[in-house]
Amino acid sequence: MIAIVPSAAYSTLATLVQIVLVVLLGPLLIGFMAKVRARAEGRVGAPINQPLRDLRKLLSKERLHARHASVVLPFAPMVILAATSVAVAISPLVTTHPLLGSSADILVIVYLLLTGSVAAALAGLDAGTAFGGMGASRAMTIGALAEPALLVAVIALSIQSGTSNLPSMISTTLTHPNWVSGPSRLLALVALVIVVIAETGRLPVDNPSTHLELTMIHEAMILEYAGPELALVTLGASMRLGLLFSLIANLFFPWGIATSGSILGLLLGVAALVAKTALVAFGVSLIEIRSAKLRLFRLPELLAGGFVLSVLAVITGLVTR
């Protein structure tokens, strides 16, 4: 295979396209999942672009802070958004040649997202309310349980490619299509889906649409936010969902991603990503609709299950290499 390295200008354009795409795609995916749920419940449901409208509404409101909040509360949304945006920028979403693609080690992505999680948890603690602390404590517990499963699943994926650089992992998968259906990949896929559901706060781990304060995880952390800052935090969470769904789609079905330096390829890459993530979102919706929220103390069992699957993925990956 002859590697065609596109120009820096092309990579910059592709990266900008990725960021804009995920800013729109994240909220739209959430709107789409709400729509699927509404239809399953026999409702018409809100339009798919409702989350975007909500963001616009929130951005036009005044800024309000809790009385006892420190600088962390207004600062955290920027950290969350910045960390997520960098992760989006360097990940191979519509092209295998994003700007700084050589730095896009999957561990870097994982820890960029973790930076956002830590900022959100600190913001939850900042105002000193019981709910914020409760949500932060729960989110960190789940994060701590999800992380090992995620890291081991990543190792399983990098065994075949021989690298943990995301663009390379995807490029090599394109040249070895039979890897995708291998047992190691499938096991890692299931593990990753469990982790992504936990990390994006979807059912059966967290219910993003609940109004029951005491059951909340992510929503409890951000209860003290209002107006533009709530918009940023929500956008950050939506982008994170868009990014994680995109990575699942591309790691397990990379076809459609732009590998050359052509604009047409980029457009195709965008179309392919939208289609693939919609499919992932649909699949996650089906899981959500059929399941109920697990008891909080059962979550370790679910995430331990994810961990076991990723360990099995590593073992199978080593054996079948």
Binding site for other proteins (CB under 8 A): 37, 40-43, 130-131, 134, 203-204, 207, 210-215, 289-298
Nearer to other proteins, 71 or 292 (CB): 292
Q: Which is nearer to other proteins, 40 or 174 (CB)?
A: 40
In three-state secondary structure terms, 95 is: strand
Question: Which residue's CB is nearer to other proteins, number 163 or number 215?
Answer: 215
Distance CA 279, CA 178 (A): 21
Q: Exposed, middle or buried: residue 49 (CB in 10 Å: 0-12, 13-18, 19+)?
A: middle
Quote the least distance from Cβ 233 to other proteins, whole Å: 17
Helices (H), the chain: 8-40, 50-59, 72-90, 106-126, 130-161, 166-175, 183-199, 218-221, 227-252, 263-290, 299-319
Comparing CB distances to other proteins, the nearer of 71 and 211 is 211
- CB of residue 202 to other proteins, shortest distance in Å: 10
What's the closest the beta carbon of residue 39 comes to other proteins, in angstroms? 11
- DSSP assignment string, 239-253: HHHHHHHHHHHHHH-
Cα 174 from Cα 152, distance rounded (Å)? 22
Nearer to other proteins, 91 or 207 (CB): 207
Pick 9 or 297: Cβ nearer other proteins: 297
Which of 46/82 has CB closer to other proteins?
A: 46
Q: How far is the CB of 288 from other proteins (least distance, A)?
A: 8
Residue 164 or 215: which CB sits closer to other proteins? 215
Give the separation between CA 119 and CA 125, rounded to whole angstroms: 10
As measured in angstroms, the least distance from the Cβ of 212 to other proteins is: 4
CB of 238 to other proteins, least distance (A): 20
**Buried b / exposed e along 179-218 (16+ C-beta atoms within 10 A):** bbebebbebbbbbbbbbbbbbbbbbbbbbbeeeeeeebbb
- φ, ψ for residue 98 (rounded to 5)? -75, 165
- Report the alpha-carbon distance of residue 208 to residue 192 in Å, rounded: 20
Min CB(38)–other proteins separation in Å: 9
Q: What's the min distance (Å) between Cβ of 70 and other proteins? A: 20
Distance in Å, CB of 141 to other proteins, minimum: 9
Beta bridge partners of 83: none
N-to-C CA span, the chain: 21
Instruction: Closer to other proteins by CB, 12 or 291: give it.
Output: 291
105: left (phi over 0), alpha (psi -120 to 50) or beta: beta
Q: Which two tokens stand for residue 11?
A: 């990579």
Residue pair 116/236 in contact (Cβ under 8 Å)? The answer is yes
